[in-house]
């Protein structure tokens, strides 16, 4: 009798243990499936998917219900954000057009002014007006350009780009700016072509912006270096110049729109050039970073552009 009771209890215990083990195994597998499904959804929130639980469990189903509501809220916010971005871009396009039209007329009339009968003071005032009008024209153009490169629909056609040639041409194109500042300029480009997988016009714009930035804010020296690393599969473009006092807080904000360090606020600059450059580099699948370093007791600022190497023609250094 006792043995029968014990055997029955043991069988019941084994059955309960088997049930709970099976239940535990099913829930673990369901959680793994739910985790995998959630990871896939997070990778592409555009798809209207929800996380499901294969094995029924009231508490876990409540948890996944909360997760699915959060996903729905995120998707809703993403749609609203995209609409706001599209509206803002459209407004910027209209504003830029409305400003460019009268500004073009102003610049045209300024170009027609005959200065021969004007006094020296009037000519100086007219030169200031022209310079300010040109600055405003550049600002409008950069503001419109930034709105374009930040848009999700802005795509670049990528192909083989000889970056060494572009760098040398950009330096030559801004020779006047660099020479007027009295900078000691050095350019190091390998004799063999360094080919990046990028967009020709975008790389040219990035290089021009970085050269222009150095031309404005470098103290005495500006160094440009180009090389390819076939082992890493990248092309690196380095732009370095000595600077006045610059703290890490300034460096971390250099790519923010309209941000300028205190020493540059009196100059005719919008603070958009570096922001545009970074967006263009990222559109090409690369990176643009900034960091400070010390050379012989002087502070230097170095920008580094990293792009994918299209052909093993670079020189590893």
Helical pair 273-283 and 120-149, crossing angle rounded to 10 deg? 30
Question: In sequence order, what are the beta bridge partners of 159?
Answer: 198
| Residue at which a domain ends, from 93, 123, 149 | 149
pLDDT at 16: 67
Please report whether residue 63 resides in a domain.
no
Separation CA 106–CA 109 (nearest Å): 5
pLDDT of the residue at 293: 85
Q: Are residue 97 and residue 236 in the same domain, yes or no? A: no
Residue-wise pLDDT for 139-161, tens only, equals 777 777 777 777 767 778 899 99
Whether 227 and 279 map to the same domain: the answer is yes
pTM: 0.63
The reply to whether 30 falls in a domain is no
In a domain, residue 39? The reply is no
Report pLDDT for 271: 67
Last residue of a domain, one of 94, 121, 149: 149
pLDDT at 260: 65
Q: Based on the domain organization, do 210 and 138 belong to the same domain?
A: no
Domain count, the chain: 2
Q: Residue 297, Cα to own-chain centre: how many angstroms? A: 31
Domain final position from 149, 171, 195: 149
Tokens of residue 44, six digits: 């592409």
pLDDT recorded at residue 250:
75
Residue 273 and residue 135 share a domain: no
Residues of the chain falling short of pLDDT 50: 263-266, 312-317
pLDDT at site 305? 94
The CATH number linked to 95 is 1.10.287
Please give the residue range of the domain that contains residue 197: 159-308
Instruction: Determine, yes or no, domain membership for 32.
Output: no
Q: How far is CA 278 from the centre of its chain?
A: 4
The pLDDT assigned to 54 comes to: 67
Asked whether residue 140 falls in the same domain as residue 108, the answer is yes
* Residues 163/196, Cβ–Cβ less than 8 Å: yes
Strand order in the sheet with 221-229: 184-188, 221-229, 234-242, 298-308, 287-295
Helix (H, G, I), strand (E, B) or coil at 227: strand
Strand partners, 241: 222, 301
The token duo for 280 is 């263009």
């Amino acid at each position: 009798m006792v043995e029968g009771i014990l055997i029955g209890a043991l069988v019941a215990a084994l059955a309960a243990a088997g049930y709970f083990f099976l239940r535990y195994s099913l829930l673990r597998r369901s959680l793994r499936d739910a985790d995998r499904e959630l990871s896939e959804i997070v990778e592409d929130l555009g798809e209207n998917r929800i996380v499901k639980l294969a094995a029924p469990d009231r508490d876990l189903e409540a948890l996944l219900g909360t997760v699915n509501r959060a996903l729905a809220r995120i998707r809703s916010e993403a749609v609203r954000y995209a609409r706001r971005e599209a509206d803002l871009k459209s407004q910027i396009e209209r504003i830029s057009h409305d400003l460019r039209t009268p500004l073009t007329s102003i610049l045209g009339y300024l170009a027609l002014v005959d200065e021969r009968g004007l006094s020296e003071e009037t000519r100086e005032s007219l030169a200031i007006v022209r310079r300010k009008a040109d600055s405003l024209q550049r600002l409008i153009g950069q503001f419109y350009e930034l709105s374009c490169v930040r848009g999700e629909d802005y795509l670049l056609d990528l192909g083989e780009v000889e970056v060494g040639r572009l760098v040398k041409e950009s330096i030559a194109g801004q020779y006047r700016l660099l020479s007027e500042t009295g900078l000691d300029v050095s350019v190091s480009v390998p004799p063999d072509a360094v080919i990046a997988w990028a967009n020709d016009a975008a790389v040219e714009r990035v290089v021009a912006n970085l050269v222009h930035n150095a031309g404005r804010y470098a103290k005495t020296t500006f160094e440009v270096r180009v090389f390819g690393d076939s082992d890493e599969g990248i092309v690196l473009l380095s732009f370095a110049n000595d600077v006045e006092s610059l703290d890490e807080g300034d460096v971390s904000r250099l790519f923010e729109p309209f941000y300028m360090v205190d020493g540059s606020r009196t100059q005719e600059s919008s603070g958009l050039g570096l922001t545009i450059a970074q967006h263009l580099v990222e559109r090409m699948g690369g990176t643009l970073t900034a960091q400070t370093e010390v050379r012989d007791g002087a502070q230097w600022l170095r920008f580094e552009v990293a792009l994918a190497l299209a052909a093993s023609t670079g020189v590893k250094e």
